[in-house]
């Protein structure tokens, strides 16, 4: 099935949470959708103008879930998502154990980029040595994060985009550019190549970042990505 043209923001958020995390038969989150299989957050809230997408960790106590459900239902963020009362969510979740991490950031979808021309090349096991200087930590992504694209200079990959997490419906981009090569639009090239290939496969190309990552948000603006919602993860 070709999922590329899903239009609803709520549908996109549903696709994203299923890209980010694995779930059990009851729809509870179990682990992040990566080979490391680290535990998923205790609580995920995806906010869109068409409603919220909520997920709970499989170990979260029913009493905490019930309290969160009542709070989410009454919260005023359907029409004003920037008014999220995170302090109240943290209070409820901290009843069992202290939270270590709170993530908050915008979620984007790529426009249709099929047929785009870039200077990026596909990275496979056949040319994996191109990653050795700046992206040796990403060698495993050549196997698990396909498709992988890079801008290469002097036989060295200087900018890289791969699939951070992936499903049969969608994939989320992971973008990195070596420090000395930033500001040259290489990130746009590799991201465009990656998104075009994801879309050629009939899948949705997604991108998300934290609110304090201004450089990443600048890339989203330059790529003309459309923000369809906002993510909150509480771990």
Q: Domains of the chain, with CATH numbers? A: 9-108 (no CATH), 121-227 (3.40.630.30)
Q: How confident is the model at residue 6 (pLDDT cuts 50, 70, 90)?
A: low
Mean pLDDT for 56-64 is 92
Q: Is the peptide bond before 147 cis (omega within 30 degrees of 0)?
A: yes
Instruction: State whether the Cα torsion 98-105-135-180 is positive or negative.
Output: negative
Instruction: Return the pLDDT at 81.
Output: 43
Instruction: Return the pLDDT at 224.
Output: 94
Q: How many CA atoms lie within 13 A of 30 on its CB side?
A: 10
Among 7-11, 44-48, 55-59, top mean pLDDT goes to: 55-59
Q: What pTM value is reported for the model?
A: 0.90
Burial of 97 (0-12, 13-18, 19+ CB in 10 A): exposed
More confident residue, 215 or 28: 28
The pLDDT mean for the chain works out to 89
Burial of 61 (0-12, 13-18, 19+ CB in 10 A): exposed
Instruction: Return the pLDDT at 78.
Output: 44
Judged against a pLDDT cut of 80, whether residue 72 lies above it is answered with no
- d(Cα 18, Cα 32) in Å, to the nearest integer? 10
Burial of 213 (0-12, 13-18, 19+ CB in 10 A): middle
């Amino acid at each position: 099935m070709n999922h590329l043209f899903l239009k609803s923001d709520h549908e996109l958020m549903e696709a994203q949470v299923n890209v980010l995390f694995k779930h059990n038969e009851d729809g509870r989150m179990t682990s992040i959708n990566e080979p490391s299989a680290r535990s998923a957050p205790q609580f995920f809230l995806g906010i869109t103008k068409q409603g919220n997408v909520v997920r709970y960790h499989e170990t979260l106590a029913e009493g905490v879930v019930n309290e969160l459900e009542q709070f989410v239902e009454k919260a005023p963020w359907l029409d004003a998502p920037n008014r999220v009362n995170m302090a109240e969510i943290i209070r409820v979740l901290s009843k069992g154990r202290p939270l270590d991490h709170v993530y908050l950031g915008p979620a984007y979808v790529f426009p249709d980029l099929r047929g785009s021309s870039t200077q990026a090349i596909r990275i496979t096991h056949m040319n994996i040595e191109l990653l050795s200087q700046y992206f040796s930590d990403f060698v495993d992504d050549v196997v698990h994060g396909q498709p992988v694209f890079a801008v290469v200079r002097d036989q060295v990959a200087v900018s890289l985009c791969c699939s951070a997490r992936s499903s049969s419906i969608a994939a989320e981009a992971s973008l990195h550019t070596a420090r000395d090569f930033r500001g040259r639009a290489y990130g746009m090239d590799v991201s465009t190549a990656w998104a075009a290939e994801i879309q050629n496969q009939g899948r949705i190309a997604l991108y998300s970042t934290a609110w304090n990552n201004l450089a990443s948000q600048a890339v989203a603006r330059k790529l003309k990505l459309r923000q369809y919602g906002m993510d909150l993860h509480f771990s």
